[in-house]
Structures are given as C-alpha cells and as structure tokens.
Amino acid sequence: MVVTNTLATQLLNAAPDLTVVVDSSGIIIFANDRAGAVIGYTAPEITGSSIDMLIPDALRKKHAGHLRRFLQQPDIRTMGRGIESYIKRKDGSEIPVEISLSPLQTPGGIFVSASIRDVTAQKALTQKLLIANRAKNRFLAAASHDLKQPMQSLALRNRAAKDRTEDSTLLQILNKQEESLNWMATFLDSLLDVTALESGIVTPVIETVSVNTILETIEDIFELAAKEKGLQFHVELNDLWIKTDPRLLTQVLENFTSNAIRYTPQGFVKIHSTVSGNTLRLAVSDSGIGIDENDLESLFLEYHQTDKEHKGEGFGLGLSIVEQCGIALCCDVGVTSTAGEGSSFYIDVPLSDIRGKVQDTQQQLTTVENQGLILIVDDDPEILDATAELLAFRGFTVVSASSLTMLQNRLAELETTPDLLIADANLANLETGSEAIDIVRCAYSSDIPVILVSGDSACASICSDLTNARFFSKPYDVNKFLGAVTEISAKGTRVSPS
C-alpha cells in the first residue's frame, strides 16, 4: 500500500493530539484538525503564521533560543524537561501542555513536528489528589495526636497499678495490658511516620556514621526477643563508615529485624553486609516462612500483610515506612524470598571515604535514696494527675500546674527550686511549654533540667535549641521516662528562688 499525501494528512488529522509542523524560521507550515479543540484556532488560521502566536508572552524570548538550540542538535525529545509548558489559545488564555518534538529532514531543510497534548484535566486531577492527600495527612496526624493523650494516661496508670500490687494474677493482667498499650503506641507512631515522610515533613540529616554504631543498636534492641523465641541471632559487625541519616536507617533495620523475628518460627535471623563499588548493602536474612511470589510486588504498600496466621501482630505499615525512608534517603530497598525457606530484606547505602567520630551512647542511670522536687505543667488533667501520682508513689515531691498562671502561683509558694521541670510543649489557650521553661528558669536564675513532652514529634526541635533538655514523644515508654526522671533529678542542685 502506497501512503499518499492525502492519506498522511488524514492520519495526522485522526491523531488524538494537536500536531503542528514548523520550518527552521518558526513558521507554521501544517496543523491538524485538533487545532480548533485545543487552541481555538482552525488549522488554516495559523498556517503561515509564526509559532510565536501560540507562545505565552512571558516565554516568547526564551522560546526563540530553545528553537535555535534544537535545530543545532535535533533529536526526538520532550520539550522543557522538568518544567511546566504552556500554550496560548485564541481567546488569550493559557493552558498547560505536554509537547513532544521530532525533527524532520527534508530537501527544503529541517522541519520540526510538535505533538501538543492538553493536560488541563490531568493537572486539575493531580491538584485534587494533592489536596486530598494533604487533608488525609492532616486528619491522621490530628487523630493520632488526640489518641495519644488518653493512651499516655493509660500507660501511666498501668505503671502506677503495677507498682502498687504484688498479686501475681493481677500483675499478669497488667503486663498484658501494657503489651496492648505498647502495640497501640507503635501503631500510632507508624501512622505519623508514614504521613510525615509522605508529606515531606521529615528531612534527612545526612552524616558520616559508623556502621557498627547502628548495628550494635539493632543488636541491643532485638537480641533478647530472638533468644526468647529460640532463634540464632547474629549481627556481623564491620569497620566501615557510611553517609546516611542514622535515625531513618535505624528505623529501616528495626522494621526488617522485627519482621524477621516475627515470621521465623525456628532457625536464624542474621544481619550482614556486602560491598559493591561505593555502596554497602545492609541485609536482614532469616530462615522463616518466606513470601509468596504473588505478594512480593505489593509488599511495600501500606496496610499490606502477607501471612494470614500472623495477621494482627502487625499493622502492615512497617514496610511502607521502609519504602518512604528509602525514598527520603535516596537508597534502594528490596527483598528476595522463597516461600517456606526464608527472606532477605536489604537497603543499599553509600559508603563514606571519611571516618567520623563514634559517640558514646551509653547512659549511666543512677539512683538516689532521697528523691527530688519535680514541677509538672500539663493542661490535660488526666495526664497531669497520672504523672503526679506515679512520681509521688516513687518518692518524689510533686508540684502540678495546668497553666502558666497556676505555675507562677506555685513558684511563689516554693522555698527551693525544683530538680526537674516536666512540661507539655503545647498548653491550652495558646500557651506553650517553652514559656513555662522560661518562667521557671528565670525565677531561679538556674538552668533547671527539663523534660519536654508532646504528642507532636515535631516539637523535638524545641529541645535542640535548649540546654539541659530532653524530649519524649507521647505516648512515651513509661519505663524509659522514669529512668530519665530518676537520672536527671539525682543530678539536681537545689537553690533558693531569686
């Protein structure tokens, strides 16, 4: 079959997108019948005119340079890679478009064929999806924050009850309750992690880090859990250094290791590494139940769980968080697995040529016979009462306040400075924990130790600007919280208020 000029024109007119052909001087020599629907002009109206009539005024000068450079190095390409392109319609309006360019070598010189697609609908849909996603993230963050307050109160009450009983049956019930509360806290933290990573709230802080520092942390966290399950748990240490955000990488390896222990009935869990060029692959391998080939593709999706027998032990969020961490770190994450034989999850991290400094993360917890004076500022009456009750039972003298005014009144009644201030970062009536810290430290002209607490993990940045301050994200681990309180108060030096 011979393709005639008439047939070629019919084929171009049947194309779903606007097609415009210009010569080397930018004069339109052909336009298909889609011109009217896309730009408002008929094909005859624009044929013979400069392509500039379709270029928005603000972009016209730049376009001339783009055309000149294209003619110097003609090839098939997308116009304006990485930037939004617009075209001017007959009525003066501008619409977003995608433009694909193709050079045509002819006896009369080089022509440029431009396929122009109106993406107004796609752009509007993308904007709606972005708005919906932001709304979802705001809702989940708000819901998680609101749930954290009563959960924190429950955790404090649980610990207070455990301190007050020696009944083995009751202790067993309280221990089970504590496990349930810990799982709920993990779930809420996972929700916030996913939304924060997807929203771009979490920005990686890349450092030169010793691999052993991270691996030893993972070993400390999971060694007992593996031992209790009867698994062989081995962490291969090395002297390599990597460039990464240690917090995000640790979170990835925690998820890998937690899943490996959970889904390995017997055998081993091993953390090991291999070097390939400038990349270190950190892998967590196990002899567990493995993953069916049909599940591998959707494994990193939110709320996806593969093993029916273990449903309810996790929330299907862990590997979604892993993928988001990988994206944030610009690191590849993946898995190889055989059903019934085991799995190996990995993340590829860039190696560093520079060795950093290993920080001593060991904390020496001290105990004292005489507990100290503690100020608590929280606008939630349940948490305020539960925290005060727990600390008072442990021998601390506790002074509570639910607002800044009440705090100032309490300070006026005290004869000595508190050993520690525990403050919620966000109080009622737009008052803040930062203001409470300023009031207390100014009253005693002393850098009083502070524990700042909040259901919003972003408030941790407040402590980075303060000296002698620690942050706990609600719902926090009560045992770790009590350890910090005991350690800090033991170092306190009491002075009279100024």
The distance from CA 461 to its chain's CA centroid, rounded to whole angstroms, is 16
- Express each pLDDT in 324-346 by its tens digit: 888 888 999 999 998 889 999 99
Query: What 3-state class would DSSP assign to 242?
Result: strand
The distance from CA 257 to its chain's CA centroid, rounded to whole angstroms, is 19
CA distance 108 to 110: 7
Peptide bond into 475 cis (omega under 30): yes
Tell me, what CATH number does 337's domain have? Answer: 3.30.565.10
Quote the pLDDT of residue 305.
Answer: 46
CA distance 276 to 347: 13
Asked, for residue 124, whether it belongs to a domain, the answer is: no
Q: Are residues 303 and 414 in the same domain?
A: no
- Judge whether residue 286 has pLDDT over 90: yes
Q: Are residues 421 and 443 in the same domain?
A: yes
> How far from each other are the two terminal CA atoms of the chain, in whole angstroms?
101
Sign of the torsion formed by the C-alpha atoms of 301, 130, 461 and 404: negative
Quote the pLDDT of residue 57.
Answer: 87
Asked, for residue 358, whether it belongs to a domain, the answer is: no
CA distance 410 to 347: 52
Q: Are residues 438 and 469 in the same domain?
A: yes
User: What residue spans of 375-470 are helical by DSSP H?
Assistant: 381-393, 404-413, 433-444, 460-464
Q: Are residues 188 and 235 in the same domain?
A: no
The distance from CA 189 to its chain's CA centroid, rounded to whole angstroms, is 11
Q: Are residues 166 and 246 in the same domain?
A: no
How many residues comprise the chain? 498
Higher-confidence position of 234 and 63: 234
Q: Check if the beta carbon of residue 352 is closer than 8 Å to that of residue 208.
A: yes
User: Residue 50 has which token pair?
Assistant: 């400069």
Quote the pLDDT of residue 266.
Answer: 94
Residue reference for tokens 């013979």: 48
Neighbours of 14 (CB within 10 A): 10
Asked, for residue 359, whether it belongs to a domain, the answer is: no
The mean pLDDT of 428-441, rounded to a whole number, is 94
CA distance 459 to 456: 6
The mean pLDDT of 1-29, rounded to a whole number, is 81
Q: Are residues 98 and 170 in the same domain?
A: no
Sign of the torsion formed by the C-alpha atoms of 206, 334, 252 and 190: positive
Asked, for residue 495, whether it belongs to a domain, the answer is: no
- Judge whether residue 278 has pLDDT over 50: yes
Across 8-22, 147-161, 262-276, 283-297, the highest mean pLDDT is recorded for 262-276
User: Residue 188 has which token pair?
Assistant: 């809420």
Asked, for residue 365, whether it belongs to a domain, the answer is: no
Query: What 3-state class would DSSP assign to 330?
Result: coil
Q: Pick from 313, 335, 350: which residue ends a domain?
A: 350
Asked, for residue 73, whether it belongs to a domain, the answer is: yes
State how beta strands 94-106 and 85-88 pair.
Answer: antiparallel
CA distance 456 to 464: 15
The domain of 139 spans: 131-199
Tell me, what CATH number does 16's domain have? Answer: 3.30.450.20
The mean pLDDT of 354-358, rounded to a whole number, is 58
Quote the pLDDT of residue 343.
Answer: 93
Residue reference for tokens 């939630």: 380
User: Residue 432 has which token pair?
Assistant: 């803040």
Asked, for residue 106, whether it belongs to a domain, the answer is: yes
- Single-letter code of the amino acid located at 315: F
Q: Are residues 180 and 139 in the same domain?
A: yes
Quote the pLDDT of residue 5.
Answer: 72
Q: Are residues 242 and 138 in the same domain?
A: no
Q: Are residues 13 and 83 in the same domain?
A: yes
Quote the pLDDT of residue 146.
Answer: 75
- Express each pLDDT in 31-46 by its tens digit: 999 999 999 999 999 9
Question: Buried (b) or exposed (e) across 68-106, using 16+ Cβ within 10 A?
Answer: eebbeebeeeebbeeeebbbbeeeeeebbbbbebebeee
- Express each pLDDT in 63-105 by its tens digit: 878 888 888 888 888 876 667 889 999 999 999 999 999 998 8
Q: Check if the beta carbon of residue 235 is closer than 8 Å to that of residue 271.
A: yes
Q: Pick from 199, 224, 249: which residue ends a domain?
A: 199
Q: Check if the beta carbon of residue 189 is closer than 8 Å to that of residue 318.
A: no
Question: Buried (b) or exposed (e) across 16-33, using 16+ Cβ within 10 A?
Answer: ebbbbbbbeebebebbbb
Asked, for residue 395, whether it belongs to a domain, the answer is: yes
Q: Are residues 98 and 16 in the same domain?
A: yes
| Closest by CA position to 46, among listed 30, 61, 33 | 30
Count up the domains in the chain and report the number: 4
Using CA atoms, how far residue 41 sits from 32, 37, 46, 53, 479, in Å, is 11, 8, 7, 11, 73
User: Residue 130 has which token pair?
Assistant: 């972005």
With pLDDT > 90 as the criterion, what percentage of the chain qualifies? 41
Q: Pick from 150, 168, 199: which residue ends a domain?
A: 199
Query: Looking at 142-151, 183-192, 247-256, 475-484, which range is the least confident one?
Result: 183-192
Query: Strands (DSSP E) along 277-310, which ranges?
Result: 279-286
Higher-confidence position of 321 and 218: 218
Tell me, what CATH number does 431's domain have? Answer: 3.40.50.2300
State how beta strands 420-424 and 373-377 pair.
Answer: parallel
Q: Are residues 23 and 66 in the same domain?
A: yes
Sign of the torsion formed by the C-alpha atoms of 173, 179, 181 and 187: negative
285 phi, psi to nearest 5 deg: -110, 150
Q: What is the CA radius of gyration of the chain?
A: 32
Q: Are residues 329 and 217 in the same domain?
A: yes
The mean pLDDT of 165-172, rounded to a whole number, is 89
DSSP 8-state assignment for residue 430: G
CA distance 416 to 445: 12
